[in-house]
Amino acid sequence: MKVSSYADLKGKSALITGAGAGIGRAIAEALVRAGTNVILNDIDEALASKAASTLMAAGPGRCLSVVGDASDVKMIDEMVALAMKEYGSVDFAIPNAGITVFGAFDEVTPEEFDRIMHINLRGSYFLTQRATLAMRKGGNKGRVVLMSSNVGVQSYPMLSAYSMTKSALQMMARNLVSELGPHGITINALAPGATLTERTKREQEDYAGVWSALVPRGAIAMPEDIANTCLFLLSDASRHINGQTIVVDGGWSVTSPLPDEVSSENVDHGSDIV
């Protein structure tokens, strides 16, 4: 994977949730290659362990894993404690873990609603809280990158609950500028569009073909496209960017065409999508 080099990331430490595969793993790999020490989390123990052991050999940075639900504050505290013990600091936080409920507004259940709010919002909120407290105690001018989505910018059918959470993360970035800025900590949101990951390949037979035809650039994102933007937001090159949402979707949210198969008649209301 070709990743831009940011010398100022070397020797720093990062916390990333939902990083056993997909975009989170790509961000973790890019950071390790840049010399950043990473604590990655995933709810899947096998994925987390495999990712951490593989990434230990990927670059000069180190990588350790913590298994658990990203909305569990005890697990978040464990990540922070491990980073402090093993790396001596917390410099970056990337609350990447998220789930999607794809369904009609009047069919979303309270259980589905609570689950998506817990993972997408509670997990992001408290990882940011705990990580930035550690940054402030250490006097670190850290960085937080929240993982939003282009459907938090542009409406999309059957995604009311998911879109709410992704839009809320953008406001979280804006709102916390006034509280974190005086401590030298920046916070921004990253909003990926259609991205080819293990999950999207499973969920749609020709995901890349369908979505590439809908993106003005003519191609969907690869995980490293999102990782490269994340590294920019973590680096000193972005030091004057604060409270912003960077959309990385090849222009889809500008034109916003939909796949022919997205309709209330044939959508799988129970599936998760990116």
pLDDT in tens, 144-173: 999 999 999 999 999 999 999 999 999 999
Count of alpha carbons within 13 angstroms of residue 78, beta-carbon side: 16
pLDDT at 1: 54
Strand 92-94 versus strand 245-248 pairing type: unpaired
Q: Tell me the Cα Rg of the chain.
A: 18
What is the domain range of residue 31?
8-255
Helix (H) or strand (E) holding 15: strand 13-16
Average pLDDT over residues 90-100: 97
* Residues β-bridged to residue 246: 190
In a domain, 265, yes or no: no
Dist. CA 156–CA 178, nearest whole Å = 31
Per-residue pLDDT at 265 exceeds 80: no
Structural tokens at position 133: 């407290």
In a domain, 262, yes or no: no
Dist. CA 194–CA 206, nearest whole Å = 12
In a domain, 2, yes or no: no
List the catalytic residues. 148-149, 162, 166
Are 25 and 49 a contacting pair, CB within 8 Å? no
pLDDT at 6: 86
In a domain, 261, yes or no: no
In a domain, 266, yes or no: no
Per-residue pLDDT at 5 exceeds 70: no
In a domain, 263, yes or no: no
In a domain, 183, yes or no: yes
- Entry field: residues in the chain: 274
In a domain, 163, yes or no: yes
Per-residue pLDDT at 262 exceeds 90: no
Strand 186-192 versus strand 143-147 pairing type: parallel
Per-residue pLDDT at 105 exceeds 60: yes
Span 8-23, pLDDT tens digits: 999 999 999 999 999 9
Q: At 213, is the pLDDT very low, low, confident or very high (cuts 50, 70, 90)?
A: very high
pLDDT at 260: 75
Say how many domains are in the chain. Answer: 1
Q: At 199, is the pLDDT very low, low, confident or very high (cuts 50, 70, 90)?
A: confident
Average pLDDT, the chain: 92
**Domain CATH number, residue 86:** 3.40.50.720
